[in-house]
Chain A
Amino acid sequence: MTFEILLQTLASGVLIGLIYALVAIGLTMIFGVMDIVNFAHGEFLMLGMYSAFWLFALYALDPILTLPLTVLMLFAFGMLLYKLVIKRIVNAPMLSQIFTTFGLMILMRGVAQFLWKPDFRSIENSWVAGSVKVAGIQLGRPQLVAGLGAVAVTMLIHAFLTRTKLGAALEATAADKEAAQLMGIDSHRMFSLAWGIGAACAGAAGVLLATFFPIFPEVGANFILIAFVVVNLGGFGSVTGAFWAGILVGVIEVMGGLLLGPEYKTAVVLVLFLAVLMFRPQGLMGKA
């Protein structure tokens, strides 16, 4: 019985962790390429959720079907945001950078509340609704599909970074901006690409999440702090690191909830975060 509970908890931790990983991958990519912490990252996720919701509510299109469309929209939105706002603060002091993305976070929440009201919404009876029993563990199908979807998107990003020329250019800019520029790689193009991909990842996570998580303007707040923790544990700028760290954080969170009660699950993750920051600032998987 207790062993079953443990397994059940572990499994749900891994599944939510995969979503955390997907959110964090976009964040870590933006940071890795241009050294800017995007506080508005959770809002990309929120936009992804609303996109899935409205396409479902208005046109009865299932979130799984509309995933590519939402990802494209978020990609374009991320690039647009870079061109309109972020581009101006690339070389600004850190304080301005922090407050620009912080302001964007509040702005996007405000606009979402203005357009769609602060109500909690949800997607009922999507294709993935229900649950399945795997090896004696009861798993929600939405969670399972979301986890698998997160893995798929992560693999795509990984393949893009390691197998394509554009991906290599992005990695080169992250490693050394000036050197990459001397090789003829336009930094601004890479920055805007990083914002596009970052927003698209968070958007994808939002769509996958929308089938089992309430949708509201401030939903991003539940994920941004966790995403920071994941990015730190995985090492800033590391996509693979963020993937494994996401799973780890998901598991630690549910285990903390199991042991100390759900109200302390975030605190457990944050304490771990501080401990890692202090003793291994390069992240668990980063190189010293």
Chain B
Amino acid sequence: MKALKIIVGLGVAAALLPFATDNPTHLNLAILVLMAAQLGVAWNLLGGYAGQVSLGHAAFYGLGAYTSTMLLLNFGINPWLGMLLGGVMAALLSLGFGWSCFRLKGHYFAMATIAVAEIVQIVFTNWDYAGSAVGLTIPMDKRGWGAMVFADKAPYYWLALGLLALTLLATWAVERSHIGYYLRAIKDEPDAARSIGINIARYKQVALSLSAFFTALGGSLYAQKELYIDPNSVLSTALSIKMALVSILGGVGTLFGPVIGSVVLTVIEELTRTFFGGSGRGTDTIIYAALIVGVAVFYPSGLLGGYREWQQRRKTKRERPAEAMSAPVREANVEEVAP
């Protein structure tokens, strides 16, 4: 229940931001943070809770973006409905994705997901009906909440915030339900989980389908915000990586980890782009990449995980001060485990 209070509390507080600032740059940064956070939370359902590292989630994102956009352009279907259908499409694709990839473990699974996403990207790049490499443009003629097209940033901000809250709530519900316990069992002790009769394939698939569904909603929102999509912007491997990275930076398998990861990563990304991006020499990429390596090497459990370990150590020290003081060797060991 504490998590629910945090979601509602932070959500309400964050919803007031557009009243505090009307600077479009700041609002845009906030939107980017929320959108990346939402994707991280969705990725985390599969990658964090079920422990299946997907590096191909851009396929679902792109499918969401393309489904809603193509339905709108070709059949005039309302983007709200299109968004939902995009999510359903992605969940359907995830059945094939899961069927072909779930018998693989670890690295093999990760590599297979890259291959699937790459195939989807190749198809969309060469599919004329989907705009091929040129992409698709959403017209600006109809505006307002009905058409999900706006001239200013604030509505997009609320949409992104609402979608993030929805994804967090879904994750929270999964975490508390029996599915959450099964997923953790599958992640930590797959053999034990199987031996007590958990249908591993089914629960992995549930996590994947949910994850795909919410990732696709994010894709549709992106299309409505940018009013332009092409294979490179919604289907690239770099995008798949970012979804995973946000979770890993914040802490995989935690409800709010991806949100924290997104705040840190997106802000750093945008700042370096602003300061160094203009040089065209890739300085922003270097900083971004060095950050990835640094976190992966030194904080394998992410920022939130690192914070919890630190808290744990403090707690142990407080509860057993005498022991901690009289046993310096042991303390040195603890320091070494979690730098």
Considering the complex, which residues of chain B in the window 231-249 have a beta carbon less than 8 Å from any beta carbon of chain A?
A: 241, 244-245, 248
User: Per a CB cutoff under 8 Å, which of A98, A102, A225 touches B118?
Assistant: A225
A71-86 Cβ-contact flags toward B at 8 Å (1 or 0): 0000000000000010
User: Per a CB cutoff under 8 Å, which of B104, B122, B244 touches A263?
Assistant: B122
**Most interface-central of A96, A217, A263 (chain B CB within 10 A):** A96
Query: Taking the nearest CB of chain B, how far is it from the CB of A8, in angstroms?
Result: 25
Contact B103 A278 (CB under 8 A): yes
B271-297 Cβ-contact flags toward A at 8 Å (1 or 0): 000000000111101101111110111
How many residues of B are counted as interface, with CB atoms below 8 angstroms from the partner's CB atoms? 42
**A88 located at the interface, meaning its Cβ lies under 8 Å from any Cβ of chain B in the complex:** yes
Considering the complex, which residues of chain A in the window 209-232 have a beta carbon less than 8 Å from any beta carbon of chain B?
A: 217, 225, 228-229, 232
Q: A94-B107, A96-B296, A103-B292 are in contact. Are A274 and B286 (CB under 8 A)?
A: no
Q: Please measure, in the bound complex, the distance between the C-alpha atom of A95 and the C-alpha atom of B244, giving whole angstroms.
A: 10
Closest-by-CB residue of B relative to A229 is B115
Known: A94-B107, A95-B252, A107-B286. 18 other contacts (CB 8 A): A92-B296, A95-B248, A95-B296, A97-B296, A98-B107, A99-B245, A100-B292, A100-B293, A100-B296, A103-B289, A106-B288, A107-B285, A110-B283, A228-B115, A266-B122, A270-B122, A277-B112, A278-B100
Q: Could you tell me the dominant secondary structure of chain B's interface residues?
A: helix
Q: A114-B281, A117-B281 are in contact. Are A232 and B111 (CB under 8 A)?
A: yes
In the bound complex, residues from chain A placing their C-beta under 8 Å from that of B286 are 107, 110-111, 114
**A104 located at the interface, meaning its Cβ lies under 8 Å from any Cβ of chain B in the complex:** yes
Q: Can you list the 6 inter-chain pairs with the closest CB atoms, starting with the nearest?
A: A103-B292, A107-B289, A110-B285, A113-B282, A103-B293, A106-B289
How many residues of A are counted as interface, with CB atoms below 8 angstroms from the partner's CB atoms? 43
User: Per a CB cutoff under 8 Å, which of B245, B248, B285 touches A113?
Assistant: B285
Closest-by-CB residue of B relative to A271 is B119
**A255 located at the interface, meaning its Cβ lies under 8 Å from any Cβ of chain B in the complex:** no
**A281 located at the interface, meaning its Cβ lies under 8 Å from any Cβ of chain B in the complex:** yes
Q: Please measure, in the bound complex, the distance between the C-alpha atom of A263 and the C-alpha atom of B252, giving whole angstroms.
A: 37
**B108 located at the interface, meaning its Cβ lies under 8 Å from any Cβ of chain A in the complex:** yes
Contact B281 A113 (CB under 8 A): yes
Q: A89-B297, A271-B119, A274-B100 are in contact. Are A110 and B110 (CB under 8 A)?
A: no
Q: Please measure, in the bound complex, the distance between the C-alpha atom of A85 and the C-alpha atom of B295, giving whole angstroms.
A: 12
In the bound complex, residues from chain A placing their C-beta under 8 Å from that of B107 are 31, 37, 94, 98
**B33 located at the interface, meaning its Cβ lies under 8 Å from any Cβ of chain A in the complex:** no
8 interchain pairs (CB within 8 A)? A99-B296, A106-B289, A107-B290, A263-B126, A267-B118, A270-B122, A277-B101, A277-B111
In the bound complex, residues from chain B placing their C-beta under 8 Å from that of A136 are none
Contact A96 B108 (CB under 8 A): no
Query: Taking the nearest CB of chain A, how far is it from the CB of B62, in angstroms?
Result: 15
Q: Please measure, in the bound complex, the distance between the C-alpha atom of A106 and the C-alpha atom of B241, giving whole angstroms.
A: 11
**B321 located at the interface, meaning its Cβ lies under 8 Å from any Cβ of chain A in the complex:** no
Query: Taking the nearest CB of chain A, how far is it from the CB of B279, in angstroms?
Result: 9
**B137 located at the interface, meaning its Cβ lies under 8 Å from any Cβ of chain A in the complex:** no
User: Per a CB cutoff under 8 Å, which of A88, A109, A270 touches B115?
Assistant: A270
Considering the complex, which residues of chain B in the window 88-127 have a beta carbon less than 8 Å from any beta carbon of chain A?
A: 100-101, 103-104, 106-108, 110-112, 114-116, 118-119, 122-123, 125-126
User: Per a CB cutoff under 8 Å, which of B53, B100, B101 touches A98?
Assistant: B53
Contact B293 A107 (CB under 8 A): yes
**B300 located at the interface, meaning its Cβ lies under 8 Å from any Cβ of chain A in the complex:** yes
Q: Please measure, in the bound complex, the distance between the C-alpha atom of A50 and the C-alpha atom of B115, giving whole angstroms.
A: 28
Considering the complex, which residues of chain B in the window 164-188 have a beta carbon less than 8 Å from any beta carbon of chain A?
A: none
In the bound complex, residues from chain A placing their C-beta under 8 Å from that of B281 are 113-114, 117
Q: Please measure, in the bound complex, the distance between the C-alpha atom of A37 and the C-alpha atom of B111, giving whole angstroms.
A: 9
Considering the complex, which residues of chain B in the window 40-78 have a beta carbon less than 8 Å from any beta carbon of chain A?
A: 53, 55
Query: Taking the nearest CB of chain A, how far is it from the CB of B106, in angstroms?
Result: 5
Q: Please measure, in the bound complex, the distance between the C-alpha atom of A113 and the C-alpha atom of B248, giving whole angstroms.
A: 27
**A127 located at the interface, meaning its Cβ lies under 8 Å from any Cβ of chain B in the complex:** no
Q: A85-B293, A94-B106, A270-B115 are in contact. Are A263 and B100 (CB under 8 A)?
A: no
